[in-house]
Amino acid sequence: MFRFGNGMFEPVWNRRYIDHVQITAAETVGVERRAAYYEGAGALRDMVQNHLMQLLALVAMEPPMAFAAENVRDRKLDVIVSAQPLLEENGSGANFVRAQYGAGWVSGAEVPAYRREDGVNPRSTTETYVALRILLDSWRWAGVPFYIRTGKRLPKRTTEIAIQFRRPPLHIFRSVSPTAIASNLLIINVQPDEGISIRFEAKLPATRMQLAPVMMNFRYGSAFGTPVPEAYETLLLDAMLGDPTLFARHDFVESSWALITPVLERWRASGQQDVPAYEAGEWGPRDADDMLAKDGRRWRTL
């Protein structure tokens, strides 16, 4: 919501300037001691329906009339209600991918496949990775895809929102700079190193005209010299103060479930026993890469 307090962001926060948005919640851990719960939940229920829907709403919401609980939650609800169905009219699942981690290496340690974890059914079809392509029917976001992914046993623990802007309409430096111009990128680091990064083009320090992408980084810890409170610390304090702004309202929760339930039913009805696998320590299955490749895009390298 930082854009509502900074005039430089809001004017470009729309389909005219933004090409697409990627929201990533990656974990290096496996199912750990939560197999009894996770077997009945999976990544879609465990992470997407609540945490990632909240991040999507915060990025895409319209400005509230005031920074008050009901105003903010009304605008967040508008985002989820405007989402197009994930299951297409022909019944295809082109907008979502699921997978399950296999054996591999994470952070220098060998780890077992999900089906070999304690308490997990050896024939389990529970997904540990989900990628979604969400389109919003709104004047601000029409035609701008929001790509969401979450998974366990990925190479890095991070939660971030990456807003990729459109390229300049004309590459006027083509004749003097062989380097392709990278799209401007705004990265909101949610955890573990909270902050904001901006990627833009700069001239290399030489007599020849050549451009290269550079990063400008802001981190809360180094900028203010104090640790950022944990997310649950903030929520617990808000609960004691009676401030519901950051809490999901019942209609938001119901709308989130309405969006993902057809996907769950599709998986259940398919009776598919062999869920696509990805090697632990990799960034998910090839199907997730293919989903973006069909749009001429690719996942950001973290």
pLDDT at residue 104, as a whole number: 96
Question: pLDDT, tens digit, for every residue of 31-52?
Answer: 988 899 999 999 999 999 989 9
Provide the CATH topology of domain 2-293. Answer: Dihydrodipicolinate Reductase; domain 2 (3.30.360)
pLDDT at residue 271, as a whole number: 66
pLDDT at residue 86, as a whole number: 93
pLDDT bucket at 94, cuts 50 / 70 / 90: confident
Pick the range with the lowest mean pLDDT from 110-119, 214-223, 254-263.
214-223
pLDDT at residue 90, as a whole number: 59
pLDDT at residue 230, as a whole number: 80
Please state whether beta strands 277-280 and 96-106 pair in parallel, antiparallel, or not at all (unpaired): parallel
Residues labelled as active-site residues? 51
Is pLDDT larger for residue 79 or for residue 243? 79
- Token code pair at residue 173: 């430096």
pLDDT of 273 above 70: no
Average pLDDT, rounded, for the chain: 90
pLDDT at residue 89, as a whole number: 64
Percent of the chain scoring above 90 in pLDDT? 65
pLDDT at residue 63, as a whole number: 92
Q: What is the DSSP string of 7-44?
A: TTTGGG-STTTEEEEEEEEE-S---TT-HHHHHHHHHI
Stated pTM of the model:
0.93
Q: Is 94 in a helix, a strand, or coil?
A: coil
Please check whether residue 5 is in contact with residue 129, taking contact to mean a CB–CB distance below 8 angstroms.
no
pLDDT of 299 above 60: yes
Question: pLDDT, tens digit, for every residue of 210-252?
Answer: 788 899 999 988 888 877 788 788 889 989 999 888 888 999 9
Is pLDDT larger for residue 278 or for residue 231? 278
Helices 250-270 and 53-60, packing angle to 10 deg? 130
pLDDT of 91 above 80: no
Q: For residues 257 and 252, give the distance between their C-alpha atoms in angstroms, rounded to a whole number.
A: 9
101-129 mean pLDDT: 94
pLDDT bucket at 27, cuts 50 / 70 / 90: very high
DSSP 139: T
pLDDT of 183 above 70: yes
Q: Is the peptide bond before 145 cis (omega within 30 degrees of 0)?
A: no
